[in-house]
Each structure stands twice: as C-alpha cells, then as structure tokens.
Chain A
Amino acid sequence: MTTDLETIGMLRDSAARYADDNYSFHQRWAVLEQPEGYSRQAWSDFAEFGFLALRLPEDDGGLDADAVAIGAVMEIAGSRLLMEPLLASAIVGTGLLLKQGSAAQKAALLPALADGSLVLVLADDDEAGPCVIDGNRITGAKLGVLHGDIAGKFLVSAIDAASGAAVVALVDADAAGLSRHNYKLVDGRGAATLRLDGAVAERLQPESGQPAAAALADIRDEATVALCAETLGIVRSLVHTTNEYLKVRKQFGKFIGSNQALQHRMVDCLLLQEEVRALTAAAQQALAGPAEGRVRIVSGARAYIVTAARQVANEAIQMHGGVGVTDEVDVSHYFRRLMVIAALFGNRDAHFARFVDAALTA
C-alpha cells in the first residue's frame, strides 16, 4: 500500500486549491458561527473530491491511501484550519472499520462514509476508565470525543466483561442507553462526552481475526502520524505568517525583522519547522515498516512535534505583539488548534514516556 507520487501531488493540489477558493481565513468565519462547528457544504465537497474515500480499497472506489497521502490532506487541514471531521471520521473512524469490520459491516457503512452522509467517530480515550461490554450491551463513559456532537455512529473501544479482551463496538448515536453532552472545544470544533448505560452495541468482527487490541494500537499510531502532518501544516503557516510580519511591521523607525534578537528566534522557528517536517516524514515511513521500530519513531516524532509547535506558536504570538492574541488574526486560531491537537490520542508526556521506553530498551 504505497500511494504513487502523482496521486499524492493531486490530492495536495486539489485540497490546497479548494481551500484557496472556499476556505480562506475570512470565509472560515461563517463556519465558526455554525452551531455544529463545521461546514456541511465543505464536507460534501470533500466527498466529491474523494477525500472521504481516501482509505477505501480501490475496488470500493477509494484510493487505498498510505500515510503520506493522508498526510498531504492533513497538512492542508492544518494550514487552513479546516473544521470538518476529516481526521475523526474519514481517517480514524473509516480506518478502524476497514480493519475490524466484517464484510457485511463494511458493506453496510462504507458507501455512507464515502459520500459523507455518515460521520463515524472513534470514542477511545479511557480518561474516565474503560468501557465494558457484556454481550451486546456497553457501559461506561468517553470524554472529549472529537466531533462526537455530529457523529451518526460511534466506534467505542471497550473491554469484554467476560474475557477482558479489547473490543471495538459500533453504537448508534440515537441508541437507547447512550446520552451525549455536546460542547465546543477551544478551536471551535465540536466534541461530546458520551455516557453509555447498557447501550445496544454491535461488535466489530473482522474475518481476518485480527485482535481488536492490535487494530486499536495501529489506528492510534495512524492518528498520531496524521496529527503530526496536521501540525506540520500549522507550523509552516505560522512560520510564514510571522516571517512576513517581521518584514512589514515597523517600530523605532525600522522593520522589527531588522532586530538581530528577533532574527535569531525566527531562525530557530525555521529549524523547528524543518525538524517537524523530517520527523513527520519518518513517522509516515515507520507506519509502513515493521512494528518493532515503529513506536520509537512515531511517539518520538509526536512528542518532539508537540513541543516544537508550541514553541513556534508562542513565538508567533510574541512577535506579532498584541495583535497575536486577538480573534482577528489566524495566529491565535493556530494556537488554539494546537492545544486541541496536543490533547488528542495521547498527550506529550505519554508519547515521550513511550519513546523513552522504546529507545532505551536494547
């Protein structure tokens, strides 16, 4: 599964062109005002471009996209601050269904995922303790489910009441016994807290027999790498915007970029950007490689990138001055998006600890 360069270039160009025409920072204001925190129009446009079928097999009209191809789209999602559930549904939800769904389950859901009529979101985090599934009834809570407010169905990670084994369960958003509390995140996207009280669930049952624990580990790594690419897009935008600002903003009769102190800090931001780019590419390659070496690179990349991006965002605000903390400039929106990214699929410390374990275990 290696996407050819031509396809990757096409994906990148079409995403960038679409954003140029339809998703400028000013056009995005209307999206931020939507109660559901995303644009339905953009979502159906993405379906037309095939972005929602990125991961589908070619036989099902998809691209069978690899991490590099997914990264090309995620980088634009970051640089243009797209609000739609590309990561949550098209990459993670769809990706996990492809790994763990039975042929019948896939046949039932993939068409609706590809045409955008279904948003399928993984509810995975165990901050509130693991969910437990007993037969076809699931109980527990999931906090901070990104786009959980607009999802039509959920994939809920749980443990089997009898065996203690990991299970991925499909739960309808309107299932009896499921209640959700919706709210907005700091970046304007929606999320939900799910309370499951014996909610009816359907276990995913792959013909391959792949254990759910392995599939969940894979999808978390894939999500982590996609977040690295999204962050790269943000970092590149922040570096570009701030660099331009240093060339036009004047104080004390000269451009602020003529101050050596700022020049050096801007250089450091550029170095961080290049490291983020290299680490993202390495993490994408690692996903295709053997499982043994993967954790060190994927979690190492993620831990480094979270910190690097935070430093770049802090510098971007600092060098923009007061303007940088206003709602009117993109810098403050990137800052908030990075906060959310840092809280998804394991925080910096969790990935750093994972990296250290992998790196120091000979």
Chain B
Amino acid sequence: MSEQLRARAETLRQEVRDFYATVMPAELRDKAHRHQVLSKEDYVGWMHLLDKQGWSVAHWPEALGGKGWSPLERFAFEDELARLGCPWVIPFGVKYVGPVIYAFGTDAQKQRFLPGIKTTEEFWAQGYSEPGAGSDLAGLRTMALKDGDHYVVNGQKVWTTYAQWADWLFCLVRTDRDDKPQTGISFLLIDMKSPGVTVKPIRTMDGFAHVNEVWLEDVKVPAENLIGEEGKGWTYAKFLLKNERTAGAIVGWAWHVLDRLKKHARETRVNGVALIDQPLMRNRIGEYELRFMALELAAYQAVTAMVDGTENGSEASLIKLRGTELYQEVMETLVEALGHAGVAFDTEALHSAGLPPLGPDDTGGILKDHFYNRAATIFGGSSEIQRNIVAKVVLGL
C-alpha cells in the first residue's frame, strides 16, 4: 500500500470531519448526536447530502459517477462517519444492489436504476432472508415461475429493513423447483407497488419496527427485471454479501461507544469518586481500550491486504466478529454505568425533541442502540456463520 494512498485516506478523514462540523445541518447533527430515530425524510436528506459531497457512490467506478475509491478510502470514510456518530449510510442501494446491477445488469437496467440509486431518489430494500432461510440463505423457498414475459412470484421474506419505505426490493427467488439449493436461485428486482406485495412490521426490543415481513402473493414481475441469467442468482448474491461484509463501520461504532463510555465515566461520580477512577471500571475500560487497539490494527491489516490483493477471505469476518463483540460489551457497560437512567426508556422521546426520563440527553438513543445492536452478531452473517467462513476458507476445515 502506497504512502500516497495513506495520505489520501487521512485527507478524506479530515474532509469528513469538516463536513460534519460545517455542512451537516444542525438539526440532523443533533438527532444523530442523540441517536434519535430518523424518519425516511431524514435518511433521504442525509443520503442527498452525501451524494452532493460525491460520497454516496464514491466506491463505484469513475465511469459510473463514482471515484473508484480503494478499500482503504472506503474504510476511512465509513470509520470516520461512525466515529462521529453520523446516521447510517443506508447500504441497500448504493452498496448492495448498485454494484450488482453495474457488474451483472444489462445496459438498460444500468440506465434505468443506477441514477436513482446514486441519488436515493428510489429507496431500496433487500429481500434475502426467509422464515426458513436465515443463516442458511440457500434454503430459500420464494418461487418465481416464468409466465410469458413475466414472472409470478410467491413467498415470504423476513427481516426486511425499511421495506415500509422502499420503492424497490431486490430479491432472491427460486426459478427452478428441481435444482440443487444453490443453482435454482435467481436475482429479481421487484417494484414494491406491485399488486400482491404486503409489508408487515416486526416490532423489535427497542419498541420500533425497522424490520418487516414482506409477503409476495402472485406478484407479476416483468422478465426484464431479472439480473443476469436465471439460476445464477447465488453468484450475484455472494458478490453482494462480500460487499455487505466489508464491515468498515463497526470499528468506528466501537470507537464511538467506547468514547461515550469514557466521557460518562469521567463525568459521573459515585461516592465522591469519578467512575473512571474506580478500580473495577478503570480496569474494564482499560481492557476495552486494549481490545479496541487490537481491533483497529487488525482492521488496518485487513484493509491493507484488500488493497494489495493478498486477502485470504477471513478479513471481513475477523473485523465483524471482534468489532461486534467489543461493541456489545462496551454498550453493556455503558448502560450499566448509566444506573437508573440505563433502565428508563421512553420511545416517544426518541421521535421528537423530548428528553429521556432520566440521564444525559442521549440516554434514550444509547438504549435504542443497545437493543438494536444486540442483533449485530446476528444480521449480515451471524457470528456463527463468520466463524464457519474462516474455518472453511482459511483453515480448510
């Protein structure tokens, strides 16, 4: 990895910090600081901001409106946003389906979909998991049967993030009943306004419904919405999952929450002594610092391997495993250190300028994130699946 590239990544980090301080609207920055629930308008506005900076698809090739960012720049960008506590860069369009379309789609599909993805004029959701196909994605059963110039789709998807806002669903479907699990799968783009599409919210622990069930009943999908070839959906899905598992943001999230814990421990006194000076807490935070250092260095090592093309396939799994474990543990400590405030929760206050019942003004957001990210070791390839990947691709087990 060249010094030049390193310097570019550092410059990018500074640009992101400047953007946060001067370009991001105060209202959005405040919501982000307090980790409030964002509306669709908030998110779309956020994605527009990133697009104006030229960052929404900077990882795409230059010919398609991107900047051809290297893995290091992608990492630096996502890491820095996460450290600042910025809203999530919703990945379904720009990170997931966009690259699938430009890598495997027809010219007509590229022209039709890529501009709306870049600007988030069209909002995308991911139709992968099913009730019987979670970790075992290839066990999916949603059927798409060809009928003249269209497919008729029947099945059920689950854990579909923001399906309630989506204009489009990219969907793994089975186009052949008889094939082996992985060979009968195809990749289909479904207009969420089609008759027969029903979205049912799933309430999670945090009291919100970010995820949904999506029921597909005799949904007619034009055959031209098939990506690539029938039966090759698994190849495209694996290509996409590789992008899902770059997992750059988790390092920044872990940093952010550890920083928040240190701030709280410095500001909070128990029996007259600052929490951070109490031996048990000091020791624990010290252990987290050490683990974070290892995580960060391992992440740079992994990104360097990606830049140099020497990766062995375990890198993203390692970052996700260690990052999510650390994040969850630090969050547990933070919630516990909040004392009574850490168990008082008012979901209403997360929608407005309202304050949490107790504690600092970001307490509600901390709790929401604690609940939501309890699933961080489950979604995007569970910790068990990540270990299976490493066992298989690196250890040959």
Partner of B374, one of A253, A325, A348: A325
* Chain B positions 130-165 with a Cβ under 8 Å from a chain A Cβ: 132, 134-136, 139, 158-159
Q: Indicate the member of B135, B136, B344 with the most A CB atoms within 10 Å.
A: B344
Kindly provide the distance from the CB of B136 to the nearest chain A CB, expressed in whole angstroms.
Answer: 4
Q: Is B7 an interface residue (CB 8 A)?
A: no
Q: Is A317 an interface residue (CB 8 A)?
A: yes
Kindly provide the distance from the CB of A137 to the nearest chain B CB, expressed in whole angstroms.
Answer: 25
Nearest residue (CB) in B for A310 is B332
Nearest residue (CB) in B for A332 is B205
- Contact at B357–A339, with CB atoms within 8 Å? no
Give the docked Cα–Cα distance between A253 and B181 (Å): 11
* Chain A positions 319-346 with a Cβ under 8 Å from a chain B Cβ: 321-322, 324-328, 332, 335-336, 339-340, 342-343
- Contact at B336–A321, with CB atoms within 8 Å? no
- Contact at A322–B134, with CB atoms within 8 Å? yes
* Chain B positions 187-232 with a Cβ under 8 Å from a chain A Cβ: 202-205, 207, 211
Task: Report B-chain residues with C-beta under 8 Å of the C-beta of A321.
Answer: 134-135, 378, 382
The stretch of A6-14, A15-23, A178-186, A195-203 in contact with B is A178-186
When each residue 278-313 of chain A gets 1 if its CB lies under 8 Å from chain B and 0 otherwise, what string results?
Answer: 000000000000000000000000000000001000
Give the docked Cα–Cα distance between A193 and B346 (Å): 14
Give the docked Cα–Cα distance between A144 and B278 (Å): 23
Task: Report A-chain residues with C-beta under 8 Å of the C-beta of B342.
Answer: 339, 343
Partner of B344, one of A191, A259, A314, A342: A191
Question: How many interface residues does chain B have, given as a range?
Answer: 35 or more
- Contact at A325–B205, with CB atoms within 8 Å? yes
Task: Report A-chain residues with C-beta under 8 Å of the C-beta of B281.
Answer: 349
Q: Indicate the member of A252, A253, A325, A342 with the most B CB atoms within 10 Å.
A: A325
Kindly provide the distance from the CB of A130 to the nearest chain B CB, expressed in whole angstroms.
Answer: 11
When each residue 240-266 of chain B gets 1 if its CB lies under 8 Å from chain A and 0 otherwise, what string results?
Answer: 000000000000000000000000000
- Contact at A327–B205, with CB atoms within 8 Å? yes
Give the docked Cα–Cα distance between A340 and B135 (Å): 31
When each residue 255-295 of chain B gets 1 if its CB lies under 8 Å from chain A and 0 otherwise, what string results?
Answer: 00000000000000000000000101100000000000000
Task: Report B-chain residues with C-beta under 8 Å of the C-beta of A343.
Answer: 336, 339-340, 342-343
Q: Is B42 an interface residue (CB 8 A)?
A: no
When each residue 325-347 of chain B gets 1 if its CB lies under 8 Å from chain A and 0 otherwise, what string results?
Answer: 00010001001100111111110
Partner of A325, one of B134, B339, B375: B375
Q: Is A127 an interface residue (CB 8 A)?
A: yes
Q: Is B32 an interface residue (CB 8 A)?
A: no
Q: Is A250 an interface residue (CB 8 A)?
A: yes
Kindly provide the distance from the CB of A193 to the nearest chain B CB, expressed in whole angstroms.
Answer: 7
Question: How many interface residues does chain A have, given as a range?
Answer: 35 or more
* Chain B positions 326-385 with a Cβ under 8 Å from a chain A Cβ: 328, 332, 335-336, 339-346, 357-358, 367, 371-372, 374-375, 377-379, 382-384
When each residue 289-321 of chain B gets 1 if its CB lies under 8 Å from chain A and 0 otherwise, what string results?
Answer: 000000000000000000000000000000000
Give the docked Cα–Cα distance between A221 and B236 (Å): 60
Task: Report B-chain residues with C-beta under 8 Å of the C-beta of A30.
Answer: none
Nearest residue (CB) in B for A350 is B270
- Contact at A127–B374, with CB atoms within 8 Å? no
Q: Indicate the member of B158, B332, B343 with the most A CB atoms within 10 Å.
A: B343
Kindly provide the distance from the CB of A33 to the nearest chain B CB, expressed in whole angstroms.
Answer: 13
- Contact at A328–B203, with CB atoms within 8 Å? yes
Give the docked Cα–Cα distance between A261 and B390 (Å): 14
Q: Is B129 an interface residue (CB 8 A)?
A: yes
Give the docked Cα–Cα distance between A318 and B382 (Å): 8
Give the docked Cα–Cα distance between A15 and B92 (Å): 49
Given A318-B377, A325-B204, A326-B204, A353 and B280 touching (CB < 8 A)? yes
Kindly provide the distance from the CB of B134 to the nearest chain A CB, expressed in whole angstroms.
Answer: 5
- Contact at A339–B339, with CB atoms within 8 Å? no
Give the docked Cα–Cα distance between A26 and B29 (Å): 40
Q: Indicate the member of A183, A262, A348 with the most B CB atoms within 10 Å.
A: A183
Task: Report B-chain residues with C-beta under 8 Å of the C-beta of A310.
Answer: 332
Partner of B139, one of A191, A251, A322, A347: A251
Give the docked Cα–Cα distance between A261 and B397 (Å): 14
Given A261-B384, A318-B378, A325-B375, A183 and B346 touching (CB < 8 A)? yes
Task: Report A-chain residues with C-beta under 8 Å of the C-beta of B384.
Answer: 259, 261-262
Q: Is A352 an interface residue (CB 8 A)?
A: yes
Give the docked Cα–Cα distance between A348 and B333 (Å): 10
Task: Report B-chain residues with C-beta under 8 Å of the C-beta of A335.
Answer: 205, 374
Kindly provide the distance from the CB of B124 to the nearest chain A CB, expressed in whole angstroms.
Answer: 20
Q: Is A45 an interface residue (CB 8 A)?
A: no
Partner of A252, one of B129, B139, B205: B139
- Contact at A322–B336, with CB atoms within 8 Å? no
Q: Is A133 an interface residue (CB 8 A)?
A: no
Nearest residue (CB) in B for A337 is B343
Give the docked Cα–Cα distance between A321 and B383 (Å): 10
Given A250-B132, A322-B159, A327-B203, A339 and B379 touching (CB < 8 A)? no
Given A261-B384, A325-B374, A251 and B343 touching (CB < 8 A)? no
Given A144-B344, A310-B332, A318-B383, A326 and B129 touching (CB < 8 A)? no
Kindly provide the distance from the CB of B209 to the nearest chain A CB, expressed in whole angstroms.
Answer: 9
Give the docked Cα–Cα distance between A133 and B340 (Å): 23
Q: What residues of chain B have their CB less than 8 Å away from a CB belonging to chain A?
A: 129, 132, 134-136, 139, 158-159, 202-205, 207, 211, 278, 280-281, 328, 332, 335-336, 339-346, 357-358, 367, 371-372, 374-375, 377-379, 382-384, 387
18 A-B contact pairs sorted by A residue (CB < 8 Å): A143-B358, A144-B339, A183-B358, A184-B346, A186-B367, A193-B357, A252-B136, A261-B384, A314-B328, A318-B378, A318-B382, A322-B211, A328-B203, A332-B204, A336-B205, A349-B278, A349-B281, A353-B280
A-B CB proximity, top 9 nearest: A144-B340, A183-B357, A251-B136, A327-B203, A332-B205, A143-B340, A186-B345, A252-B136, A325-B375
